[in-house]
Structure 1
Amino acid sequence: MKKQITTLSIPSINPGWSQTHSVGRNRGYVTMLTLLFALFLGTCVSAQSIKGQLTDGTNQEPMGFANISLYDANDKLVKGTSSDIDGRYEIIDLPAGTYRLEASFLGYATQSQMVTLTNDKTTVELPAIVLSEGGNNLDEVTVTAERAVMELGLDRKIFNVEKSIAAAGGNAEDLLREIPSITVDLEGNVSLRGSAGVRFLINGKPSAITQQAGFLQTLTASNIERVEVLTNPGAQFDPEGTAGLVNIVLKQKTEDGFNATVNLNAGTGNKFDGSVDANWRKGKFNTTLGVNGRYDERFFRGFREQTATFADTTYSRYFTFDGLRQNESKGFNLGTEYTINKYSSLGISGNYRTSTGESTNLRSTQFFDDNGDLNSVSYRTEVEPQERENYELRADYNTTFAKPGRNLSASFQYSESDQTEVENYDESIFGPEGDLFDESFQNSPSANGRTQYIGQLDYSQKIGEDFKFEAGWRSTMQRIDNVADFNIYDEDSQEFFRVDSNSSRFFYDEDVHAVYSTFGGKVDKFTFSGGLRAEQVYTTSFLAEPTGETFENNYFKVYPSVFLGYAVSESGTIQASYSRRVSRPRDRDLNPFVDRGDPLNLRTGNPFLLPEIINSYELNLQQRFGMGTFTGGVYYRAKSDLITRVTETLPGGIQIGTQANLDSGRDYGVELITTLRPSKKFDLTASANAYRTEIDGTLQEGAVQANGYNFSGRLQGSYEMPWNVKSQFTYFYRSPGVTSQGRLNAMQSFDLGFRKPILNDLGAITLRVTDLFNQRKFGYTTEISGLSTISEFQRESRIVYVGFQYSLREVKGKQNRQRSGGGDDGGGDDF
C-alpha cells in the first residue's frame, strides 16, 4: 500500500552551536591599519561661475540630484547641471551678464532667482535655495521639470522609476526587469552585465531580508523611489559580489500628518497580492507601518534529453517535468524615528515575514538502449511542502555637529531566519510493456536556521567646500545550522526509517570584520575619490553528521577603489574607475554532504572552495543633448580562483554537480544606454550590453577553456495616450552564451502595461501583461565526459495583472506653510 508523507518532525535548530563546537578556533577582532588616501590637484579659475546649495523645505536636508538651469536675458537656456548628493551645484565658465537661475525637482515647485555676474568677481555664491511642495516661486515662474529617467553619479547609475507602470502595479522583481544592465531569470535570480554575483542594499544599508529567496517579490514597487546600480562600488561598501551592488531606495515620507498607500493586484492563474503602507509624522516622531500579503501559483514544465557514449556502452534517456508551485506569504514592518535634537536622531525598526508553500512535480523518464529501443519508464511524483519564517530588528543613530559638514552614524542589526522543507518522492518503474518493475517511497526533511549580527559605524567630514573624508567599521557575524535527513519507506513495518549514511547535520560560521577609509572631492572640472577597505574573515565548516569533519578558511584581504570624473563640457562627463571585489562561497557551496534526492542528478558542496577575487575596471562617458542622454562605457573584469558550477559523470550515467575554483576568467564588455524624449508624451530608453567571456582552468576531466560572446539588449518606451492613460512596453533579448561546460540558449520577452489615474490623481488602475508572446524560456546544452545534455525549462510568465492603487494624504504640511507665511490660521486637517 502506497503511503505519501508530507509532514515530519524536524530536529531542533541551535544557531548558537559555535559556542560549544568551534573546534579550537580563536575568535575575536584583529587590529587593522586604516590606509588614508590624500590627493591634491591645483587649478586656476579664469572665468565667472555660480555655485550654491539646494535644501528640502520639508526636512531641511540637502537635496541631491535636482535640476539647475541657467537662462540668459532672452530666456534662452545657457547651461544646466544637477546638484550632487550634498545638494551642491556649480556652473562654470560664464561670461559677465544677467541670468535667471531655475532649480527644479519632481513634485516640488520650481524656484527662480536673478543673478548678475561682473568682471570684478569671479565666483558668485548664492544663498541656499529651498525647494518645497506647493511653495511660492521666487518670481512667480511655475515651470516644473520631471527627473531624468537615468542619471550618472561618480560611482553609480541612478534609475528613477516612479513613473514606471511596473512601479504602480508590480513588485521589485517586475521593476528590475526594466532596468538596463540587469537581467532577472525565470526563478527570480538577478544578474548584472551577465554575472550572477549581485548583492542588494536597502536604502544604502545591508539587510537580512535581501538574503532570503524571493525577497524581491515581497517589496512593493510603488514604494521604490529609485534603483542605483553600482558596478564598481567604493571602499565604504561591502566588496561581496562578483558583479556589483544594486541599491533599492525606498520612498521617504517627510510630510507632517498621516499618509497611507494601498496597493491591490490580481493576476491570471490565481495570483493575488496587496499591501498597506502608512506613515504618521507628528512632532519629533516619524512612524511607519507596513502590512502585505501575497498568494502565487505558477506552473513549470520542461524537458531534458541525454545521450551517453562511453567506452563500453551507449544509451539515451528523456525526462519531462510538469509541476506547480504555490506560495503564500505575509509580512509586517514597523519603525519609528525620534528627533532627539536639531543634530541627532534615533531610529528603531523591525520586520517580520512568514511564508508557506508547496511544489508538486510529475517527472517521467524514458530509458533507451544503444539501439534506441525503450527499456523502461519511470514516473516520479515529487511533493515538497515548505515553511519559512524570518525577522529583523535594527537600531540606527545619526548625528551631525555644531560645525557643519560632519556626520556620525551607527547601526546595529539582528536577524533570524528558519526554513523547513520535506521532499517526498514516490517512484514507480515500468517495463516497455507496462508491467511494474519496482516502486519506492522516500522523503528527505530538512531544516535551516540562520542567525546574523551586523554592527556598523560611519563618520564623514567635509574639508573645505570641495573635499570629503569618510571612515568606518563594520562587523558581520552569522551562524548557520543545516539538518538534512534521508528516509526510506519500509513495506513490512509500514513506516519510514532513517538512512544515517545519507543524512547530515552541517554547521557554518562566518565572521567578517572590516575597516575602510575614503577621500574625495572636486577640483575645477575634476571629481575624484579613492579608498581602501581591509577585511579579516574567519570561517568554519563542520559536518557534524555523518563524518564529523571540520574545515577552516581564514584570510585577510584589502580592497582598493579609485574613481575619477572629468567634465568635458557642461553637458558631457567622462569617468574612469577601478575596484577589487570578492565572491565568498556560501554555506550551500561548502557543505560536502551528497544530496541524493534525485538519484540521477546528485548535488554536493566543496569545503575547499576559495573566495573568488575580481579586479574590475571601467571607463564611461555620458553626454546630454536636446532630447535625452547617451551613456557609453567599456569594462574589464579579471577573475582569479573563479567559482563555477561543474558537473561530473559517474558510472551508470549519474551526474553529480558541485562548485569548483578555476584558475582564472576574464570579461571584456561594452555597454550603451540612450534615453530619448522626442515629445512631452513619448520617451524611449534603449540599452545594450555585449561582452566576451574567457574561462581557464583544470577539472577532473582535464583542462577547461570556454570562450564566447554574449549579448543582451532592452528597449523600453512609454507614451501618454488620450484620456490621461499612460502606456509602456519593454522588450528584452539575451543572446546564446557560454558556460564553463556548455552553452546557454537565447531568451527574450515582451511586456506591456497601461496606467490610468483616477480619484483626482489620488488613485490609479493598472493593466499589465508580462511576457506577452510566452517566450521567456531557459535552455542549455552541455557535453561532459561522454554525456551530452539538451535541456529547456519554462516557468509561467505570460500573466495578465489588474491593479488598483490609492493614496490617502492628510494635507497638513501645506496649511503649516500658509500659517508660517502669515496666511489664514483657520481650518482643520483635510483628507
Structure 2
Amino acid sequence: MTQLYTAFAAFAASLAMIAPAHAQDAAPQASGEAAKESDEIVVLATPDASVRIDRRVYTLRDDAEAQSTDMFEVLGHVPSVIVSPDGDVSLLGASNVTVQINGQTVPGQSLEAVLRGLPGSQVKRIEILSNPPAQFSAGASGGIINIITRDRFIAGLSGLARVGADTFGGATYAIAPSWSGEKLTLSGWAGLHGYGEERAAYGQRNELPAGPDYLKRGVNGFDYDGWYATGNAGYRPNARRRYTASLSANAFDYRFHEYMNWTSSSAPGSLRTVANHTVTDNTELALEMQQDGAVAEDLTKAKLVLTSDVKTYSSLIGAQPTGAATSNRYLSTQDTDTETLNFTFDAERPRPQDRFFTWGAAIGLTRQTNDASLRVLEGAGPAPYVSDLRGEDRTLAAYATYQFDVGNFTILPGVRAEDYWRKVSEAGTETEDEDVRVFPSLHVRRKLSATVNLDVSYTGRIDRPDFDDLSPVIRYSGDNASSGNPDLRPATTDAYEASFNYRRNKTAASFTFFDRTSHDVVGSRRDLIGGIVFTRPVNVGENQERGLEAQARGPLSQRWGYIIGANIRERLFNTLQSGAFEQRSAAQYSANLRLDYGDSNQEEVGADQLQFRADFQGPSYDLQSKQHALGTVNFTWRRRLSDRFVGTLNVNDVFASRKRTSEISTPDFYERSTRDSPGALARYTVSYQFGAAPNASQQQNIDNQPRIPGG
C-alpha cells in the first residue's frame, strides 16, 4: 500500500507541476492535413506520423473484417505482423513482441483474452515500432504494437451493437456506445463471446537408442467463453487540458481436452487423456492528464495505471494402460496473482525548424504470487508437491530524445537508463539482484525525393526472464512437463534496420533490411525422463538474423486494390546435439497477399466490400524443434443492409489447410506431432449503428481531424 500511496502522490504532484507550466488557454495550433484514404487497412500518414520517424501507422477505418470481429483476429492482418495458430505474435520475424493498448502493455499471459475483448470497430489506428526508440521500455526486445482506440466521437449519443454466430457453435454479442458533449466524452464497450473447435491429432515417438516406438492418434480441441467491459471518460476543461480515466475488466474461461491412443509393437499401449482448464480475471484502472502548449507538439503528460491479473490453471492427466483394470490419474494446479503499478511522465518540447526534444521518466512495480501443486488421484503418478513462488520487481527509467534536421537528413538520437531490481523467493530460499544499464537508440531519415524516404535505425534491447521462467517447480500437462531455470540470464539484442519507403497517392511500397544479433538467447531444452518430455529454458549463446521484408499496396482499378508482402531471413543459431551446442544456418520465410473490392459509395444501401487473403508461413526452427510450413486462405464479404445495418460474412481457412506439424529431435527421443485443421469456419455478423451517426463517414471525418500531439 505504501507504494500505491507513493504513486498517487507522484501523480498528484505531476498535475500540480503541469498546471502552472502552461498558464495560457489558447488552443494549440494543428499541423498537417487530414489524411484521406479508402476504407481498408492501409498505411496512413497522419500528422503525427509525418513528423515522427520511429514508427509506421496503420488505420482500420471501415475495414470489412475489423468491423465484425475482435482485435485478436485482426492483428495478424497488419503488415509485418504474424500471429501463429498457437497465438504467438511476431513482428518483422522477431518474437517477444510487446502489445500495448493506448501505450499500456498487455500482459503476455492475458493477451488473447484482452484482445478478444476489444472490438475492431473501436480501434482508431495501430502503431508499429519494429525498432523502438529510447522513449519506450528496453524490454520490448521484439518491437512494439500499440493499438490506439477511438477518443473522438459524434456529438450526442451514438454507438455500435453487434451480434454474430459461426458454424463451430461460437457466438458474439457486443455493444460499444459513446456520448460526447462540449467538454465531457463517455465511451466504452462490453460483450460476451464464445468459441470452440476440435481436430484430429496424431504422430509418433521413437525413444532412443533402442525404443520402444509409439504411434499416437486421437483428437484434441478447445472451447472458451468470456465477457469484457471497458468504460472511458474524457474531460476537457479548456482547449489545452485533458483528463481521462479508464476502467476495464474481463474474464476468460478456456478449456482444452485431448484423447490419444498410444500403441507400440514392443511395449504396452495406453489411452492418455488431458483436460486443462484456465480461468483469467483481469482488471485495469488508468488515470491520465495531458497539458498542451500554445503550439503543436508541445505537451506534458502524466499517467498512472494499476492492473490486477488473476489466473487459475488446472491440468487433469490420465493414462489407462491397455488391458489394465485401473488407470493412473493426477491433477496439476497453478494459481497466479499478479499486481502491477506503472507511472509515466512525458514531456515534448518543440524547437525551431521542426526540431523537438522529448524526455520523461517511469516507474514500474510488479508483485506476483504463484502457488502450484500436484496430487495423485488414482494409481501411479509423479511425486506430489506443493510450492509457493513470490516475486517482486521494480524498474526505474529515464530517457531523452532529440529530433532535428541536417540538410535532407532527419536525425533522432536517444538514450534510456534503466535500474531493474528483482527479488524471488521459493521453498525457503530467496534471491535478489539489481541490474543498471544504458540503452542507446538512433533513427535517421533521408528524404531522397518527394515520394521516397530512406530510414535507418539502431536500438539496444533486453529480454528479462519472467518469474515463471526462474521457478524450478515442474508443471505437468499430459505427457509433457515444464519448469523454469533459476540460473537464466537476460538476453540482449543489437538491432539494425534500413527501410526504403515509397508513397505516391494510393500506391505505396517499402523494403526493410534488418540485422539482429542477440546474446544469451533463451531456448527450450527437452529431455525424456520416464516417458515424460521435460522442457525448461536455457541460455543457448548467440543468434543472428539477417533478412528483407517487402510490402506493397495500391489500386488495380477504381474498385479493386491489392496488398502484398513477403519476409525472408537467414538465421544463424545454436542447436543441441549430443549434449553440446552446434551452430546451424536456416532460411525462414513468410508471405501474404490480399485483394480488396469495394463499391464506390460504401454508404449506399446494397454496397459490397470483398476481401480475399492468403497467408503462408514457412518452416521455423528452435534449439531442438521444427515447425512445418503452414498456409491459409480467408474471405470476407461485407454488405450495407440499410442506413444502420451492416452484414459481414467471414470464411476462415477456406481450404481447411491450417494443419500444424512439429518435430522434436533430441539424443533421448524423436517425436512428430500433427494437428489437422478443424475445417473451414464461417461466421456471420450483423452490426447496427445507433444514435446520431448513421453513416461511417461522419466518424471518419472526426478521426481524420488533425490530432493533438500525444493524444
Decide: shared fold, TM above 0.5.
Answer: yes
Bigger drift between 705-714 and 224-233 goes to 224-233
1:208–1:415 contact (8 Å) kept in structure 2: no
Query: C-alpha deviations, 1:8-45, integer Å up to 9, x for none?
Result: xxxxxxxx9999xxxxxxxxxxxxxxxxxxxxxxxxxx
The residue correspondences of 1:652-667 to structure 2 (distance < 5 A) are 652=530, 654-667=532-545
* CA distance in structure 1 between the partners assigned to 2:332 and 2:86 by the alignment: 23
Does 2:511 correspond to 1:581?
no
* CA distance in structure 1 between the partners assigned to 2:359 and 2:28 by the alignment: 22
Residue in 2 aligned with 1:195? 94
Bigger drift between 405-414 and 482-491 goes to 482-491
Residue in 2 aligned with 1:149? 42
Residue in 1 aligned with 2:23? none
Does 2:146 correspond to 1:247?
yes
Give the partner amino acid of 2:42. V
SS class of match (1:569): coil
1:200–1:246 contact (8 Å) kept in structure 2: yes
Residue in 1 aligned with 2:429? 549
* CA distance in structure 2 between the partners assigned to 1:621 and 1:523 by the alignment: 19
- By how many angstroms is 1:422 displaced? 2.7
- By how many angstroms is 1:653 displaced? 5.1
Structure ranking higher on relative contact order (CA contacts 8 Å, 6+ apart)? 2
1:171–1:220 contact (8 Å) kept in structure 2: yes
Give the partner amino acid of 1:459. A
- By how many angstroms is 1:591 displaced? 1.3
* CA distance in structure 1 between the partners assigned to 2:638 and 2:233 by the alignment: 33
Does 2:61 correspond to 1:162?
yes
Give the partner amino acid of 2:348. S
Query: C-alpha deviations, 1:327-382, integer Å up to 9, x for none?
Result: 1111111121122333322112101112334323212222342xxxxx32211233
* CA distance in structure 1 between the partners assigned to 2:368 and 2:688 by the alignment: 41
The residue correspondences of 1:461-472 to structure 2 (distance < 5 A) are 461-472=349-360
Paired residue total: 665
Residue in 2 aligned with 1:105? 35
* CA distance in structure 1 between the partners assigned to 2:492 and 2:581 by the alignment: 21
Does 2:396 correspond to 1:513?
yes
Residue in 2 aligned with 1:730? 613
1:18–1:509 contact (8 Å) kept in structure 2: no
* CA distance in structure 1 between the partners assigned to 2:27 and 2:2 by the alignment: 48
- By how many angstroms is 1:159 displaced? 2.3
Equivalent of residue 526 in structure 2, options 644, 647, 650: 647
Give the partner amino acid of 1:701. G
Give the partner amino acid of 2:488. L
* CA distance in structure 1 between the partners assigned to 2:557 and 2:639 by the alignment: 20
- By how many angstroms is 1:196 displaced? 2.1
- By how many angstroms is 1:464 displaced? 1.6
Q: TM-score, normalised by structure 2?
A: 0.88
Equivalent of residue 206 in structure 1, options 105, 113, 117: 105
Residue in 1 aligned with 2:16? none
- By how many angstroms is 1:261 displaced? 1.0
Give the partner amino acid of 2:551. I
* CA distance in structure 1 between the partners assigned to 2:378 and 2:260 by the alignment: 23
Query: C-alpha deviations, 1:482-525, integer Å up to 9, x for none?
Result: 1111112268xxxx9x9985332112212111111100033443
1:709–1:738 contact (8 Å) kept in structure 2: no
Query: C-alpha deviations, 1:457-483, integer Å up to 9, x for none?
Result: 111100124110011111111111111
Residue in 2 aligned with 1:408? 300
* CA distance in structure 1 between the partners assigned to 2:2 and 2:289 by the alignment: 31
* CA distance in structure 1 between the partners assigned to 2:114 and 2:677 by the alignment: 18
* CA distance in structure 2 between the partners assigned to 1:175 and 1:558 by the alignment: 35
Residue in 2 aligned with 1:51? none
1:698–1:704 contact (8 Å) kept in structure 2: yes
* CA distance in structure 1 between the partners assigned to 2:492 and 2:406 by the alignment: 33
Residue in 1 aligned with 2:228? 331
- By how many angstroms is 1:683 displaced? 0.6
Residue in 1 aligned with 2:13? none
Does 2:614 correspond to 1:614?
no
* CA distance in structure 1 between the partners assigned to 2:640 and 2:595 by the alignment: 19
Evaluate the alpha carbon distance shift between residue 414 and residue 642 of structure 1 in structure 2; reply closer, same or farther with a 3 A threshold. same
Does 2:410 correspond to 1:532?
no
* CA distance in structure 2 between the partners assigned to 1:419 and 1:574 by the alignment: 45
Query: C-alpha deviations, 1:85-104, integer Å up to 9, x for none?
Result: xx34xxxxxxxxxxxxxx55
Evaluate the alpha carbon distance shift between residue 404 and residue 248 of structure 1 in structure 2; reply closer, same or farther with a 3 A threshold. closer
* CA distance in structure 2 between the partners assigned to 1:300 and 1:18 by the alignment: 48
Residue in 2 aligned with 1:133? none
Equivalent of residue 211 in structure 2, options 279, 304, 314: 314
* CA distance in structure 2 between the partners assigned to 1:490 and 1:305 by the alignment: 27
Residue in 2 aligned with 1:226? 125
Give the partner amino acid of 1:673. Q
Evaluate the alpha carbon distance shift between residue 62 and residue 321 of structure 1 in structure 2; reply closer, same or farther with a 3 A threshold. farther
Equivalent of residue 604 in structure 1, options 483, 488, 500: 483
Evaluate the alpha carbon distance shift between residue 626 and residue 332 of structure 1 in structure 2; reply closer, same or farther with a 3 A threshold. closer
Does 2:197 correspond to 1:298?
yes
Evaluate the alpha carbon distance shift between residue 671 and residue 357 of structure 1 in structure 2; reply closer, same or farther with a 3 A threshold. closer
* CA distance in structure 2 between the partners assigned to 1:717 and 1:145 by the alignment: 14
Evaluate the alpha carbon distance shift between residue 465 and residue 798 of structure 1 in structure 2; reply closer, same or farther with a 3 A threshold. same
* CA distance in structure 2 between the partners assigned to 1:146 and 1:215 by the alignment: 25
1:200–1:210 contact (8 Å) kept in structure 2: no
Does 2:692 correspond to 1:807?
no
Residue in 2 aligned with 1:217? 116
Equivalent of residue 419 in structure 1, options 303, 311, 319: 311
2:117–2:250 contact (8 Å) kept in structure 1: no
SS class of match (1:436): coil
* CA distance in structure 1 between the partners assigned to 2:607 and 2:517 by the alignment: 49
Residue in 2 aligned with 1:118? none
Q: TM-score, normalised by structure 1?
A: 0.75
Does 2:170 correspond to 1:287?
no
Equivalent of residue 633 in structure 2, options 739, 750, 770: 750
* CA distance in structure 2 between the partners assigned to 1:669 and 1:806 by the alignment: 45
* CA distance in structure 2 between the partners assigned to 1:352 and 1:672 by the alignment: 39
* CA distance in structure 1 between the partners assigned to 2:459 and 2:366 by the alignment: 26
Residue in 1 aligned with 2:370? 482
Query: C-alpha deviations, 1:646-674, integer Å up to 9, x for none?
Result: 21233x45421110111100000101001
Residue in 1 aligned with 2:657? 775
Evaluate the alpha carbon distance shift between residue 337 and residue 583 of structure 1 in structure 2; reply closer, same or farther with a 3 A threshold. same
1:518–1:531 contact (8 Å) kept in structure 2: yes
1:331–1:353 contact (8 Å) kept in structure 2: yes
Residue in 2 aligned with 1:113? none
Residue in 2 aligned with 1:674? 552
Paired-residue identity, %: 18
Residue in 2 aligned with 1:443? 331
* CA distance in structure 2 between the partners assigned to 1:806 and 1:331 by the alignment: 19
* CA distance in structure 1 between the partners assigned to 2:40 and 2:206 by the alignment: 55
Bigger drift between 658-667 and 358-367 goes to 358-367
- The root-mean-square deviation of aligned C-alpha atoms, in Å, is 2.9
Does 2:512 correspond to 1:633?
yes
